[in-house]
Amino acid sequence: MKQLRSIKGTHDILPSESNKWQKLEAIVNEVCEQYGYHEIRNPIFEGTGLFSRSVGEETDIVSKEMYSWEDRDGTSLTLRPELTASVTRSFIQHNLGSQSPIHRLYYIGPLFRRERPQKGRQRQFHQFGIEAFGANNPEQDAEIIAIAWEILSRCGLSDNANLNINSIGSRECRNAYRNALKDYIHPYLNELSETSQHRFNTNPLRILDTKSEKEQAILKDAPKISEYHTQDDSIHFESLIGFLRAMDIPFVINHKLVRGLDYYTRTVFEFNSLKLGAQDALLGGGRYDDLVEALGGKPTPGIGFAAGMERFIIAMEESGLQLKGATPDIYFVCLDERGIASTLNISNKLRRIGLKVVLDPLRRSMKSQLREANKLEAKFALILGETEINDNTVSFKDLEKGIQKTILQSEVINFFDDLTN
Ligand code: AMP
């Protein structure tokens, strides 16, 4: 029979890897909670219309990367390709805006995009991200970027990451800029790639994103979006820059940063790793002041970011952060069937005082069990053999220091309580 395999672009996260994920998730949970953000968990699939209306019909995600299917009742459903749309849907559906003027949310979970798989780019991948609804002041933008920076720092990545920021202005600014950019590009239209020619008609700002050197050269003297900022756009951006400086967060202003999605307004930003090669975008985000209204809610400003967890983990490995998994405190060696019940009982009590205790369900020899204890890097072994059973004792062995002792079974919990406190 043909061997069953995971689908192209999806990956199993095996126990040898999962400790890294848990470490990253712990940092995300801790930092977000420190800033007053609480976790939201949304469904994996949604109605297709949610993404076409928010992310935008003309984006790569919606036009070619979604996993969509028709349900039995004819409804079109889609595996979520990003989470801002789902979180916003949920914000509107549960009328969160009426409960409090500010909502600070974060998420961790899988997403699905039918992209060409390569290192750091998968079809099922994971993001953590945050969304803050309710505030349109620049200190909210500064807080969002500060959270991203703090998570990167605690993951050991901030020394090798660049923060690029830009403001793509309000809607009126973008309308004026779009025309100016099209006027500038028009004479070069035939020299552009097919993709850029298509974008010229659908979403010309995205041409600024081009990776082609030829197109970058053409765009060198293109008008800058900052020249089209309204006064409020400029004040917002200048204030943000001041706040980032006040927090000692280094950044570069990149006039060509527009980001792919349709819903952004004003601030956009991206953290790129200097160590990841082609797929170097670690985290990206921006303000989306029109999104809640566009999806049918009361006008509410919002801003957030999303970070690729696979890329974080690759970068964390490369930066040499200690990502070793947890090792047992105690390996409990039972050598006599009559001792199994006591072994189970004492082990549970030890776990209740916070210790990690591993048992051998294979009833192997003392030598094999101790070999396993060493392999797992257990600190201590407890041994329950014939003599110990007869004496109501258990033998204790410090596997690092080689010290050995006999303890009464009734004293084991107190013994470890003293030892570990
Ligand atoms: P986006 O939602 O496209 O703004 O992406 C935000 C972040 O998610 C990127 O900076 C990447 O780190 C990560 N990311 C996006 N697409 C993929 C993918 N196909 N595989 C792995 N990571 C991804």
Q: List the structure tokens of 257.
A: 């940063």
At residue 413, what is the residue type? I
pLDDT at 260 over 80: no
Question: For 331-345, what is the mean pLDDT?
Answer: 97
Burial class (CB in 10 A: 0-12, 13-18, 19+), 38: exposed
Determine the atom of ligand 1 nearest the C-alpha atom of 281.
10
Tokens standing for residue 371: 């070999």
Q: 282 CA to middle of ligand 1, Å?
A: 7
| Atom 8 of ligand 1, residue of closest alpha carbon | 308
Q: Is 341 helix (H, G, I), strand (E, B) or coil?
A: helix
Q: Which two tokens stand for residue 229?
A: 């900022």
Instruction: Provide CB contacts within 8 A for 80, sequence distance 6+.
Output: 42, 43, 44, 45, 46, 51, 86, 111, 112
Q: Tell me phi and psi for residue 272, to 5 degrees.
A: -110, 145
| Closest residue by Cα to residue 22 from 130, 148, 128 | 128
Q: How far is the CA of 188 from the centre of ligand 1 (A)?
A: 31
The CATH class that applies to domain 330-420 reads: alpha beta
Q: What token pair was written down for 52?
A: 């076409």
For the entire predicted model, the pTM comes to 0.91
Using the 8-state DSSP alphabet, how is residue 222 labeled? S
pLDDT in tens, 32-70: 999 999 999 999 999 999 998 888 777 888 888 999 999
Confidence check: pLDDT of 320 > 90? no
- Is the pLDDT at 161 greater than 90? The verdict is yes
Domains of the chain, by residue range, sit at 15-170+230-318, 330-420
Per-residue pLDDT averaged across 258-263, rounded? 76
How far apart are alpha carbons 76 and 299 in whole angstroms? Answer: 27
Asked if residue 278 has pLDDT above 80, the reply is no
- The closest residue, in CA terms, to atom 21 on ligand 1 is 121
Contacts of 417 (CB under 8 A, 6+ apart): 353
Pocket lining for ligand 1, CB < 6 angstroms: 82, 113, 115, 120-122, 125, 127, 281-284, 306-308, 310-311
Which residues are bridge partners to 332 per DSSP?
359, 382
Burial class (CB in 10 A: 0-12, 13-18, 19+), 222: middle
Distance CA 160, CA 341 (A): 53
- Going by alpha carbons, the residue nearest to atom 11 of ligand 1 is 308
Residue 381 in contact with residue 412, Cβ under 8 Å? no
As a whole number, mean pLDDT of residues 61-90 equals 95
* Separation of CA 145 and ligand 1 centre (Å): 17
Beta-bridged to residue 267, according to DSSP, are: 167
Residue nearest to atom 18 of ligand 1 (CA): 121
* C-alpha of residue 34 to centroid of ligand 1, in Å: 25
Which residues, including other chains, have CB under 8 Å from residue 315's CB and lie 6 or more apart?
155, 157, 160, 161, 273, 275, 276, 282
| Ligand 1 atom closest to Cα of residue 285 | 4
Give the range with max mean pLDDT: 145-149, 185-189, 292-296: 145-149
* C-alpha of residue 405 to centroid of ligand 1, in Å: 54
The CATH T-level fold of domain 15-170+230-318 is BirA Bifunctional Protein; domain 2 (3.30.930)
- Lowest-pLDDT choice from 144-148, 162-166, 273-277, 392-396: 273-277
Q: What percent of the chain has pLDDT over 70?
A: 99
> What's the 307 CA to ligand 1 centre distance in angstroms?
7
- Residue with token string 């700002």: 205
Contacts of 322 (CB under 8 A, 6+ apart): none
User: Per the structure block, which two tokens stand in for 57?
Assistant: 């019909």
Containing 387, the helix (H) or strand (E) segment is helix 386-391
Residue with tokens 């979180």, as numbered in its chain: 87
Question: Stretch 339-353: mean pLDDT, rounded?
Answer: 97
Q: Which residue, by CA, sits nearest to atom 16 of ligand 1?
A: 121
**Residues 392 and 408: beta-carbon distance below 8 Å:** yes
Between 81 and 63, the more confident residue is 81
CA of 129 to the centre of ligand 1 (A): 11
Q: What is the mean predicted confidence (pLDDT) over 213-229? A: 93
- Measured from the Cα of 81, ligand 1's closest atom is 2
Spatial neighbors of 358 by CB under 8 A, at least 6 apart, are 328, 330, 331, 332, 373, 376, 378
pLDDT at res. 1: 84
Mean pLDDT across the chain? 94
Q: Which of 311, 312, 314, 316 to mutate to test the pocket of ligand 1 (most atoms within 8 A of CB)?
A: 311
Atom nearest to 82 CA in ligand 1: 2
Ligand 1 atom with the shortest distance to the CA of 271: 10
What number does the ligand 1 atom closest to the CA of 61 have? 3
Q: What is the DSSP string of 44-107?
A: SEEEHHHHHHHT-TTSHIIIII--EEE-TTS-EEEE-S-SHHHHHHHHHHTTGGGT-S-EEEEE
Atom 13 of ligand 1 has which residue's CA nearest to it? 308
Return the best residue to mutate from 125, 257, 288, 305 for the ligand 1 pocket (most ligand atoms within 8 A of CB): 125
State the Cα torsion 165-171-173-175 to the nearest 10°: 120
**Ligand 1 centroid from CA 308, angstroms:** 5
